[in-house]
């Protein structure tokens, strides 16, 4: 398992709901946390590791021995309030950032890794992470919220980086 990068097609696919929690899913979740921590991330959606599953993991501390590890299976945002604009980045678009306006407070319903229904009312950074990761599960990226000028700058940087990598590989 590895993190995939834009413009990989899976990042634009809508994830499929999970029907059960089993040992295989627990193993996937553990691997996702490992990858997220290795990349110094705070959240990781299943389609970012090329799995079309409606699930994401997060830990605002970005460290395995700190913070709270959270798993959201089949998450749905049921309420949005307020507005906040902050810079966001993405593990699938490394070293690229943009200012994104999102609701400040959200209520999300999901299932835990134990298969229990959960409802969380959250704000601030956690609300932002939840929204960012749920967007991934719908095939949406943070760059989709940017102006066309800023989005095109980011896409151009990604394309130049890919061209440079291809040139190095052909040497």
Helices (H), the chain: 23-38, 124-137, 148-170
Choose, from 31, 85, 133, 162, the residue flagged as catalytic.
Answer: 133
Alpha-carbon distance of 75 to 118, in angstroms, equals 9
For 14: left if phi > 0, alpha if psi spans -120 to 50, otherwise beta; the answer is beta
Alpha-carbon distance of 62 to 6, in angstroms, equals 22
**Catalytic annotation on 31?**
no
Terminal C-alpha separation, the chain? 27
Nearest-CA neighbor of 73 among 2, 121, 25? Answer: 25
- Active site members: 133
């Amino acid at each position: 398992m590895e993190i995939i990068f834009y413009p990989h097609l899976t990042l634009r696919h809508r994830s499929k709901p999970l029907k059960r929690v089993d040992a295989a899913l627990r193993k996937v979740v553990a691997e996702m946390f490992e990858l997220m921590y290795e990349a110094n991330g705070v959240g990781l959606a299943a389609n970012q590791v090329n799995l079309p599953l409606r699930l994401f993991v997060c830990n605002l501390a970005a460290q395995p021995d700190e913070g709270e590890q959270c798993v959201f299976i089949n998450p749905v945002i049921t309420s949005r309030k307020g507005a906040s604009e902050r810079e966001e980045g993405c593990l699938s678009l490394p070293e690229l950032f943009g200012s994104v306006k999102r609701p400040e407070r959200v209520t999300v319903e999901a299932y835990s890794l134990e298969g229990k229904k959960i409802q969380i009312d959250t704000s601030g950074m956690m609300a932002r992470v939840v929204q960012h990761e749920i967007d991934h599960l719908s095939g949406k990226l943070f760059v989709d919220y940017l102006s066309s000028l800023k989005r095109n700058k980011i896409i151009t940087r990604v394309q130049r980086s890919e061209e440079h990598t291809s040139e190095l590989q052909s040497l």
